[in-house]
Amino acid sequence: MNRRGISLIELMLSLVIVVMVAVASTRALVTALGYENKLRAGREAFDERAVFEDKIRTLLQHAYISPSTTYMASYFIGEVPQVTAATSGLPGGLTANVGSSTPGGSGQSGGATQGSGTGSYGTPNIMVFTVRGIRFPDNYLASNDDFETLNTEFGPQGGLQEIEISESPVGPQGQGQTGIFLRTQIPSDYDPTQGGNEMQMEPNLSQIGFEFFDGANWDQSWDSRASTPARSMPAAVRITYRFNGDTYDHVFVVQLPNSKVTYLAPVTVTG
């Protein structure tokens, strides 16, 4: 029997093939891991945007303006101006407590003056409106505190609530922070620029803008106190926003179930 050993050339060729297979496998593994990381990051970003949009959608779908012509603590405003008795409908020549350090309403948010309310898109980045039907906070329901303590911490529950969604924090707690802020005041009052409790709603937001559908066109601002018919809410709100790191805008539209505005019955806002 003729027996022959492995030649040096054959051994080197075998080593080269093994190295090539190992390099190819390593590259495939690195590519797969990188692709998985991108998918995970994409899913996390999608989930973050979905949660953010759902929060705003839920609030807007509960927007409500009292039909009473004498009840002025009920409104829907995009781009909040400096509030005076003439613009807010405060009774008896009362002026709003804007620019003071006194907490407003039932909570902790002070009276820092609002800015122009126009953001990076050239549309309002501040929206204030009253809502009804929002469920009680979970920590309110789970608390064993007495009635007086709950009122001090959460404000009186029930009735209309004032909601503000804004890039600019009103109270001192949000100063120096970025993102978008949610201010809630229970019950609502005559001053849509301050009061209640404020929290950072989404720190990762870099810019936002609101537009309002009047039944015929998308408007750049809204004030139910200067609308015809009076005390009207938009039929829908279009929200355009970006998170940090986004290279394109995200847009979604929320219809307001309690609005009476339609394309057959449009509204005019003169404010």
Domain locations in the chain as residue ranges: 38-269
- Could you give the CA distance from residue 58 to residue 63 in angstroms, rounded to a whole number? 9
Q: Mean pLDDT throughout 2-19? A: 76
CB 168 within 8 A of CB 200: no
Identify the residue with better confidence: 240 or 11.
240
* Mean per-residue pLDDT, 179-204: 90
Residue 218, burial from CB neighbour count under 10 angstroms (0-12, 13-18, 19+):
middle
Q: pLDDT per residue over 28-73, tens digit each?
A: 888 887 777 777 777 888 899 999 999 999 999 999 999 888 888 9
Give the pLDDT of residue 81: 47
Does residue 89 surpass a pLDDT of 50? no
Cis peptide before 229 (omega within 30 of 0): yes
Q: What whole-number distance in Å separates Cα of residue 161 and Cα of residue 144?
A: 23
187 vs 181, residue with greater confidence: 181
CA-wise closest residue to 134 among 226, 69, 62, 237: 62
Helix, strand, or coil here: 205?
strand
Radius of gyration, alpha carbons of the chain: 28
